[in-house]
A and B are shown apart, each in its own frame.
Chain A
Amino acid sequence: MILALTSRNIKEIFRNRMRIGFLLGMPIAFMLIFNVAFGSSGEEIINVGIIDLDNSEISATYIENLGNISGINIISYDNEENALKDLKDGNILAYMTIPEHFGENMMLIWNNSNLEIDLKIKYDETLPNTASKFISIVTSYTLQFSRVSIPLRIDSEPINISYEKNLVNFFAPGIVIFGLMVLIPTAGGMITHDKEKGFMERILTTPVTSTQILLGYSLPLFIVALIQIATYMGVGFALGMKIYGNIFLLFAVYILTALWCIGIGMIISAWAKREDQAEPFSWIFMIPVAMLSGLWFPLENMHPVVKAIANLFPSTYSVNAARALVLKGSEFSAISNSIYILVVTTVILFLVGIFLFKKLVVK
């Protein structure tokens, strides 16, 4: 008896390719992503800023040679204010200030004086790994540059001007976006269910257009998304979340996120014939994409190829924009690119959805 049932259920599991793909494919995808995410940094390039207060020939040479070290890309700033702004906007990960008299002191050191070189590095506190890598590069390079072992003082300071060491703040944007991404299997499952059960066909016997059907399914999901956003933000505030940026802009980012998620769900449902195809497929798509978006761990440590792949998916832009708003209090100009990309993606997804639904209406 047990064997007969076992045999039946083994057949059921193994003959459903989607289910087996889900069981085997998902952990493999997880492993691969964790491996590249936490493994070697590859040929990662760090963007750093330099403020040269000395403006001597020696400091210029020092900066030029530092820039030749592989893995570092140097951006020069006239004053600290601009550097700080770029650090906050995420354009650079750290910046170093070369003090006045750097050149003179270096000359004295080369003439056997016992002077101390004082460098100031400020870095993004959310990326301590990158900062320590940069600090060690600067240390060894400076010692090499001075050609003698000198007392070198690197004054490193994590920047927390606009963000607190608050776990809720760091994770909240990612969690909201992940919550919204659950709309993908929800949308996919809902429409595929109606297709599978024949309800869609019943609707199609009435004079409705494909666009009306698409919107008729999107709008309720959008209302769900609004409730989700409000709930998540409410819980976040209750746990002590603080938003440094414009809350309306954050809301806009979340709404765009909900829309592209619904769009992807629609497209999956237009393709899938059965609910047990649509649901696992949605998850298989969603989990790796969510992981690559920097939702659970920072993107900066990933291999450049993985970063490039991550940049193909809208989730990456959603997370970047939302995190910049919550943590860094960025202005619109700092996240405008992400927002434009999200708008364009959403429009494209819905146009593709309407096209696919047209094919669905008349076979």
Chain B
Amino acid sequence: MIAIETHGLTKEFNGLIAVDNLNLKIKKGELFSLLGPNGAGKTTTIKMLSCLLNPTHGKIRILEYDAVEQPYEVKKVIGVSPQETVISEFLNSWENLELIGRLHRMDKKTIKERSKELLETLGLMERAKDPVHKLSGGMKRRLSLIMALIHDPAILFLDEPTLGLDPQSRRAIWEYIRKFKGEKTILLTTHYMEEADQLSDRIGIIDEGRIVALDTPERLKERYSKKKVVLVEGENIENVKGKYTIDNNRLVIEDGDIKGIVERLSKEGVIIKSIKTEEPTLEEVFIEITGKELRE
């Protein structure tokens, strides 16, 4: 069952193509990441999917609704956590959640129960009565995230949910997002490779408004990155014969068989100081596909 589907989705801003003929099919319960450099069209895509922007061409289907024709129906089933931490600064956490809940026509009792649950889960209860402008950046982000969840939407759009956060806060949010896997359909945008790798069922790499690669994280790594690499530091490495390269005083061997390598190098008189393997990363895939030059 498909939850989000776009067909030929295109957005132009004064002749500049931000999103170019995007075709996506995201299954119900799937966590799909849009991974791309700055200005690739991730946020524009999310804005069109959440009915904030009308596409120049193309169709969007969210569950059984057409996003252009039935924006109010779509808005009832989606939750959006915008890229910037958008909260009402002089309200406290309870009041912020109540506002969004009431805009979704929830009754006060349900809002209160749900807020309590969300605030507790994300460790915000202690400071929930403080005005938001007194909270730390990480706390604000978490609040911004649960504001998208207060009405228990079937579909969740998370635009760079951990942008600018410290590793602890980032991991807390990842853990929380993982709880919904399989339960809610989540479209997440990020330019953190690790985030996409850790969370996603599938990843679409987007560049200049186009999807340039789309698959599970594992298969992307398999397909686009080099094989496992072993790096060896030690004495006499320059004497080693064979198809090796030396980079930064380290012997680089494209082979995963550590035991075999150690035996061979010992025979050739290398005294090994350190040895480590390098797994292929999504970053390599990303750079491989989108190139190295600066964007924007």
Contact = CB atoms under 8 A, between A and B. Distances in A.
Interface of A: 197-199, 201-209, 362-363
Contacts, number: 48
Interface in B51-108: 51-54, 71-73, 75-76, 78-80, 82, 84, 86-88, 100, 103-105
B71 A197 contact: no
Interface in B111-157: 147
Contact of A362 (B53, B78, B79): B53
Contacts of A209: 72
A363 B52 contact: yes
B47 to A, nearest CB: 8
B50 A205 contact: yes
A198 B83 CA distance: 9
Contacts of A202: 80, 82, 86, 100, 147
B160 to A, nearest CB: 13
Contacts of A205: 50-52, 75, 78-80, 82
Contact of A207 (B52, B76, B82, B87): B76
Given A206-B75, A207-B75, A201 B104 contact: no
A199 B88 CA distance: 7
B104 A206 contact: yes
25 contacts: A198-B82, A198-B84, A199-B86, A199-B87, A199-B88, A201-B82, A202-B80, A202-B86, A202-B100, A203-B103, A205-B79, A205-B80, A205-B82, A206-B75, A206-B100, A206-B103, A206-B104, A207-B72, A207-B73, A207-B75, A207-B76, A207-B105, A362-B52, A362-B71, A363-B54
A205 B104 CA distance: 10
B75 A198 contact: no
User: Which 6 interchain pairs have the tightest Cβ spacing?
Assistant: A206-B103, A205-B80, A207-B75, A198-B86, A202-B86, A207-B72
B84 A363 contact: no
Contacts of A207: 72-73, 75-76, 103-105
Contacts of A201: 52, 82, 86
Contacts of B104: 206-207
Given A202-B147, A203-B103, 15 more contacts: A197-B86, A199-B86, A199-B87, A201-B82, A202-B86, A202-B100, A205-B50, A205-B78, A205-B80, A207-B72, A208-B103, A362-B52, A362-B54, A363-B53, A363-B54
A203 B147 CA distance: 11
A208 B72 CA distance: 8
Interface string B152-176: 0000000000000000000000000
